Amino acid sequence: MTQTIQNPVLKGFNPDPSIVRVGDDYYIATSTFEWFPGIQIHHSKDLVNWRLVSHVLSRTSQLDMTGMDNSEGVYAPALTYADGKFWVCFSNVHSCRGGNWMATPSFVVTADNIEGPWSEPTPIGNYGFDPSLFHDDDGKKYMLNMIWDGRAKTNFFGGIVMQEFDAERGELVGEPRNIFEGTYLGCTEGPQMLKKDGYYYLITAEAALSATMQ
């Protein structure tokens, strides 16, 4: 008998879903923007029935929402699992944007258990927004993000940047590399990297933005 999944599987306000499978469990992290606590985590065993199990950013020491305006705050969390713990990367968009400029502080937090407690944020650059963390099979980790080009009369996209992240030291190391300059479609967001059968795959979202924006 064929089972049909009724959309949406997550009802309500749950944008930018990032999903990971750990054993027989599925977890989804979603954006919360200016709402606190930040980053909702839902759990499922069958991809049909979901329940809210935690919020990643539940302390003001992790995320101070004072003065946050509409559509600011937490953008596009990227949830991964490696080394026996969960990792979440996110951007915090606030007073860093204005006019053509946007350079958002980005962070990574970890937890041994999906329900927390989650660590204090570790900075991972101020490139643009939508950071993610790739865990290579040699133990190395790499931060991916987009570069926001604030010059007038551009599509504001400056490329997808990748830089090694030293988890023990809690900092980016080495030089950042621009690994993808995008296509004619315009702004490229949400970079995610996967590895399968010896090949690396970069997955992004693209949407055309006017090249005449001032």
Does the annotation mark 189 as catalytic?
Answer: yes
Catalytic residue among 16, 46, 112, 206: 16
Give pLDDT, residue 212: 34
**Mean pLDDT over each residue of the chain, to the nearest integer:** 87
Distance separating alpha carbons of residues 70 and 93, to the nearest angstrom: 10
Give pLDDT, residue 100: 47
- Determine the length of the chain: 214
Give pLDDT, residue 103: 65
For 52-72, give the DSSP string. Answer: EEEEEE-STTT---TT--TT-
For 84-121, give the DSSP string. Answer: TEEEEEEEEESTTEETTEE---EEEEEESSTT-PPPPP
For residue 134, which of 69, 214, 191 has the smallest C-alpha distance?
A: 191
For residue 38, which of 110, 97, 103, 90 has the smallest C-alpha distance?
A: 90
Residues whose CB falls within 8 Å of the CB of residue 199, separated by 6 or more in sequence, listed in order: none
Give pLDDT, residue 147: 82
3-class DSSP assignment, residue 15: coil
For residue 74, which of 57, 92, 60, 87 has the smallest C-alpha distance?
A: 92
Q: What is the mean pLDDT of each run of 10 residues along the chain (214 residues)?
A: 80 92 97 93 94 96 87 91 97 62 83 97 86 96 84 69 95 93 80 94 74 34
Task: Give me the residues paired with residue 63 across strands.
Answer: none
Give pLDDT, residue 62: 95
Give pLDDT, residue 149: 67
Catalytic residue among 136, 189, 197, 206: 189
What CATH class does 18-207 carry? mainly beta
Give pLDDT, residue 56: 98
- 132-165 tens-digit pLDDT: 999 999 999 999 998 876 666 556 677 899 999 9
Does the annotation mark 16 as catalytic?
Answer: yes
Task: Return phi, psi of residue 156, to 5°.
Answer: 75, 0
pTM for this predicted structure? 0.88
